[in-house]
Amino acid sequence: MKYEIGGIELRYIALAGSVSLISLMLFFGYFTKYSTLDPLVHPLTLGAISMIILFFPFGLADFARVKRIEEAERRLPDFLRDLAGHTNFGTPMSEAILRSAENNYGPLTKEVQHLAGMIKLGIPVEIALNDFGKRLKSKAIVRAGKIIQKASESGSNTSDVISLVSSFTTQTYLLRESRFADMRNYSTTLATSFGVFLFVIVMLDVYFFPQLSGGSLSGGGGVLSVSNSYAGIERLFTAGVIVEGAASGLISGVFRDGRLTSGAMISGILVMISIVVMGVIGVL
């Protein structure tokens, strides 16, 4: 299922908008010498904001798409059970699909209605089932459609085959949810490690570096160079926090389902937390 606005996919709109916004901020800050947006004055802030603008829209769109697919796959066994119930009494597959299309299956409803619409147009049920699930880009739904297609073509024990597919789909969904639950523990560990790292850097910036800088006042002419050195180290640690937040989010996506994009939204959130905390303590 593609999310489109005016015929253009949402991910391309998000990319174009993000790049345009970042470019405008950089040009405005550089040519007007507005210190807050000048990339030469606050490169870390602008870099972090750029990462948020790039990561968060993509991550949010991907999260919504994945949740929609997961909900559709969760409702797939309900549709298959209804289909098996109709065919169990000798109802033709095409008629069973038309009757089942009157029910509500959540995000799967539009896919079932699309299948029923193709049958109403006179398209053979075997051909119509070949496209079942492709609009949602769900491998589980496409696989179920292929099996039903083969069972319908064979013409024997169709109801039993559909019931077995329904049971298998249910077990597969439960196993996947169990795996996701286990992977969430790793994601929680990554978030905790990021929190600990952020806490350590904040303590260094708030308590450790000021004491070192204050102790160097007796050095006379070396005070300015020492202060600059500490400021550079603070900026380096801040960059490390931002990179740590972005990396932790992306890796959590890999743990979840093997895709970096699944963790893009979390990356945006962690980077946002980083710049807010660092801004509050006055490092940025």
Task: Considering only residues 179 and 95, tell me which one the structure prediction assigns the higher pLDDT.
Answer: 95
Structure-block tokens of residue 169: 């789909």
Contact 233, 209 (CB under 8 A): yes
Q: What φ, ψ does residue 8 adopt, rounded to 5°? A: -110, 135
- Least confident piece of the model among 37-51, 120-134, 148-162: 37-51
pLDDT at 5: 42
pLDDT at 1: 46
Note the helical H segments in the chain. Answer: 10-32, 43-87, 93-100, 109-120, 125-129, 139-154, 158-203, 209-215, 223-257, 264-280
Q: What is d(CA 249, CA 266) in angstroms, rounded to the nearest whole number?
A: 5
The rounded mean pLDDT for the chain is 76
pLDDT at 283: 67
User: How much of the chain exceeds pLDDT 90, in percent?
Assistant: 0
At 63, the pLDDT band (50, 70, 90 cuts) reads confident
pLDDT at 8: 44
Contact 202, 209 (CB under 8 A): no
Sole residue written with tokens 């609009």: 135
- Least confident piece of the model among 3-12, 110-119, 193-202, 241-250: 3-12
Structure-block tokens of residue 123: 């398209």
Contacts for 229 with CB less than 8 Å, ≥ 6 apart: none
- pLDDT tens-digit readout, 137-152: 888 888 888 888 877 7
**H or E segment to which residue 4 belongs:** strand 4-5
Q: What is d(CA 104, CA 112) in angstroms, rounded to the nearest whole number?
A: 9
Say yes or no to pLDDT of 212 above 80.
Answer: no
What are the structural domain ranges in the chain? 76-175
pLDDT at 174: 82
- Please indicate, yes or no, whether the overall pTM of this predicted structure exceeds 0.95: no
pLDDT at 223: 46
DSSP per residue, 117-167: HHHHTT--HHHHHTTTTTTTT-HHHHHHHHHHHHHHHHTSSHHHHHHHHHH
Contact 28, 67 (CB under 8 A): no
pLDDT at 14: 58
- Least confident piece of the model among 20-29, 56-65, 81-90, 158-167: 20-29
Say yes or no to pLDDT of 49 above 80.
Answer: no
Task: Considering only residues 100 and 33, tell me which one the structure prediction assigns the higher pLDDT.
Answer: 100
The answer regarding whether domain 76-175 maps to CATH 1.20.58 reads no
Say yes or no to pLDDT of 235 above 70.
Answer: yes
The radius of gyration computed from the CA coordinates of the chain, to the nearest angstrom, equals 27
Contacts for 173 with CB less than 8 Å, ≥ 6 apart: 73, 74, 76, 77, 140
**For range 126-139, the mean pLDDT:** 82
- pLDDT tens-digit readout, 91-129: 788 888 888 888 898 888 888 888 888 888 888 888 888
Give, rounded to a whole angstrom, the gap between the first and last alpha carbons of the chain. Answer: 41
**For range 143-169, the mean pLDDT:** 80
